[in-house]
């Protein structure tokens, strides 16, 4: 191998120095912004992603559509004590032939029936009707009948009482509250998925950026190694390790890019945008809140968690069903009364008949050996006991979930602070190695290794910060404050126009 001249050595050393300086240029401060393309991309914040999900996510849209039928179910239940009116009209012809003599009768009838159920269980029915019988053969056969009937039935045992009769309306109202809570749960779950998907995309994009820089660093090591071999200060075989590092970094970059694409597609599906849309994720880390107290979180969860409120409503519904089942086992004792008046005008035999009828009484029905009544009673009683057990169990589980989420929040907060401190120390370490390199007391490899340590520390910091933010979101979901944090109100999207 030809020995390099002194001037060649100086030039080679200058080349190595320049490459080393390029390798140790300071890295940008850690920021939650991922942009791996030279083409400017549209920024998308987490709040914008959530807003898109609220407008376009199919799961949320279906939940709002379900609210249309649910609200109408409540409207039907609350219509129980509203008077009902039924109109009926009948017109017919009746040809009659007797001994060759043909007569065509015209018969018409109109009936109006009004019914009203009272909260006591009483049923009031008012019926009025007019019937006409027209004979085309002779005028005297024309007749007209007007009648009206008022009847009242009041159960005294089975089916009687305000509690038993208003139970269905109360259950419907509590079911409506449960449906609203289910809507909130659906929105909360979907928004939480969007938050996690957004941060996964943000983390994947940042990792692509870090891997790309690592590849550039590995290539610079190959360049330095070639310069050292050219200067006769390194064996040619030693470059194999540097070239292998380049191949490994290229593989890791390819893997990171694939992970970024997968994360982007997952986010695009949740917020229902074209997967080919080019955008970059951006999130600002605000001030770190103080660690909340367990008792305060517990009170908040018991006030706001939709599942806890739903389980409490389920207990109340079960109590009403139990009361109805007990009432249905009673004997059927009812008071009834009616008044009917009928006016008949026309015809051959009767002129101006006016008939009035009064009717009142007591009716008792005693079911014997009807096991279905006891079956429904036992079923309602067991359901009530199960609902109370489920509520107590859920409350206990919520306390454990809060403790676990709070513990995870505290640990992730400490990890984030430690990783941020570690990154600063590795920055100082890199700066020291750079100063030592300028003074001739270090090598370019030591500087590159220090830079590798800084990159690894930044990856650890990125992971720690994303984990802390996700732990914060998980804690919000655990205590039921996700919608409050993002100023989201679960207001029905569609009104009564959907009933038409």
For the segment 3-32, what is each residue's pLDDT rounded down to a tens digit?
Answer: 455 555 544 555 554 444 444 444 444 444
| Concatenated DSSP letters of 441-490 | SS-HHHHHHHHHHHHHHHHHHHHHHHHHHHHHHHHHHHHT-HHHHTT---
Residue 30: the pLDDT is: 41
Q: Region 58-87: what's the mean pLDDT?
A: 93
Q: Pairing between strand 42-45 and 279-282?
A: parallel
Q: Where are the beta strands (DSSP E) in 14-122?
A: 42-45, 84-98, 101-117
Measured CA angle at 255 (ends 251, 258), to 5 deg? 140
Phi, psi of 364 (to 5 degrees): -125, 125
Task: Taking residues 462-473, report their average pLDDT.
Answer: 93
| Residue-level pLDDT at 431 | 82
Q: Kindly tell me if the per-residue pLDDT of 381 is higher than 90.
A: yes
Query: Which residue from 243, 257, 161 is spatially nearest to 212, judged by alpha carbons?
Result: 257
The string of pLDDT tens digits covering residues 118-164 is 999 999 999 999 988 776 655 555 678 889 999 999 999 999 999 99
What's the mean per-residue pLDDT of the chain? 84
Asked whether the predicted pLDDT for residue 224 surpasses 80, the reply is no
Are 324 and 417 in contact by the 8 Å Cβ rule? The answer is: no
pLDDT at residue 273 is higher than 80: yes
Q: What is the mean pLDDT of residues 350-377?
A: 86
d(CA 106, CA 125) in angstroms, rounded, equals 29
Which of 23, 456, 39, 22 minimizes the C-alpha distance to 207?
456
pLDDT 10s digits, 178-204: 999 999 999 999 999 999 999 999 999
Number of H helices, E strands in the chain: 10, 8
- Give the model's pLDDT for residue 376: 94
Say how many C-beta atoms besides its own lie within 10 A of residue 8's C-beta.
14
Q: Is the pLDDT of residue 90 over 50?
A: yes
Domain 6-75+165-320+377-499 has CATH 2.30.30.60: no
């Amino acid at each position: 191998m030809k020995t390099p001249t002194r001037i060649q050595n100086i030039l080679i050393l200058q080349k190595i120095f320049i490459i080393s300086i390029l390798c140790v240029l300071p890295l940008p401060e850690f920021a939650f912004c991922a942009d791996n393309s030279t083409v400017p991309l549209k920024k998308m914040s987490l709040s914008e992603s959530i807003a898109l999900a609220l407008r376009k996510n199919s799961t949320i849209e279906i939940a709002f559509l379900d609210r249309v039928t649910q609200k109408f179910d409540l409207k039907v239940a609350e219509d129980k004590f509203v008077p009902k009116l039924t109109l009926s009209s009948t017109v017919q012809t009746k040809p009659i032939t007797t001994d060759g003599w043909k007569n065509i009768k015209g018969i018409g009838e109109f009936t109006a029936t009004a019914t009203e159920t009272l909260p006591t269980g009483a049923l009031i029915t008012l019926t009025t009707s007019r019937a006409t019988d027209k004979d085309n053969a002779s005028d005297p056969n024309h007749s007209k009948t007007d009648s009206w009937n008022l009847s009242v039935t009041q159960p005294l045992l089975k089916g009687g009482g305000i509690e038993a009769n208003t139970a269905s309306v109360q259950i419907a109202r509590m079911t409506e509250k449960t449906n609203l809570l289910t809507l909130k749960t659906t929105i909360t779950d979907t928004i939480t998925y969007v938050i996690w998907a957004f941060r996964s995309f943000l983390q994947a994009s940042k990792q692509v950026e870090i891997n790309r820089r690592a590849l550039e660093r590995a290539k610079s090591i190959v360049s330095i190694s070639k310069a050292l071999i050219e200067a006769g200060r390194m064996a040619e075989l030693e470059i194999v390790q540097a070239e292998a590092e380049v191949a490994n970094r290229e593989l890791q970059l390819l893997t990171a890019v694939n992970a970024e694409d997968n994360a982007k597609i997952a986010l695009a599906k949740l917020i229902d945008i074209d997967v080919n849309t080019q955008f970059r994720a951006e999130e600002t880390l605000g001030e770190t809140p103080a660690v909340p107290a367990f008792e305060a979180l517990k009170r908040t969860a018991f006030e706001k968690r939709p599942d806890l409120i739903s389980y409490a409503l389920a207990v109340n519904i079960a109590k009403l069903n139990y009361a109805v089942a007990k009432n249905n086992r009673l004997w059927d004792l009812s008071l009834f009364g009616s008044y009917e008046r009928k006016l008949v005008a026309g015809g051959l035999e009767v002129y101006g008949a006016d008939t009035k009828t009064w009717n009142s009484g007591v009716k008792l029905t005693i079911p014997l050996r009807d096991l279905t009544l006891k079956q429904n009673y036992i079923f309602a009683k067991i359901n009530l006991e199960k609902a109370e057990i489920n509520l107590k169990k859920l409350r206990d589980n919520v306390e454990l979930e809060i403790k676990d989420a709070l513990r995870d929040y505290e640990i992730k907060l400490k990890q984030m602070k430690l990783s941020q401190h570690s990154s600063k120390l590795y920055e100082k370490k890199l700066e020291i190695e750079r100063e030592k390199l300028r003074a001739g007391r270090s090598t370019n490899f030591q500087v590159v290794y220090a830079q590798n340590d800084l990159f690894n520390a930044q990856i650890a910091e990125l992971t720690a910060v994303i984990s802390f933010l996700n732990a914060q979101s998980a804690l919000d979901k655990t205590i039921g404050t996700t919608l409050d944090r993002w100023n989201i109100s679960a207001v029905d999207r569609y009104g009564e126009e959907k009933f038409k």
